[in-house]
Amino acid sequence: MGFFGTARNTHHVGIYLGNDKMANAPYTGANARTDPVSSHSDLVGYYTLGS
């Protein structure tokens, strides 16, 4: 999962798919789509599950 915003105010979370792609719904009510992670300049951090 990728978190976007600032350390004090995360405003968006996307699911990282690999190769600079994430599953993303850009706003409430929008259909999910695939977007490049690099298109967002405010990546604050990420968290991975599993090994």
Q: Where are the domains of the chain?
A: 2-46
Rg from Cα positions in the chain: 11
Question: What is the model's pLDDT at position 51?
Answer: 60
**CB proximity list for 21: less than 8 A, separation 6 or greater:** 34, 35, 36, 37
Question: What is the model's pLDDT at position 49?
Answer: 78
Reported confidence tier of residue 48, pLDDT bands at 50, 70, 90? confident
Closest C-alpha among 48, 41, 39, 35 to residue 2: 48
Q: Considering the entire predicted model, what is its pTM?
A: 0.74
**CB proximity list for 36: less than 8 A, separation 6 or greater:** 20, 21, 22
Residue-wise pLDDT for 12-44, tens only, equals 899 999 899 999 998 899 999 999 998 888 999
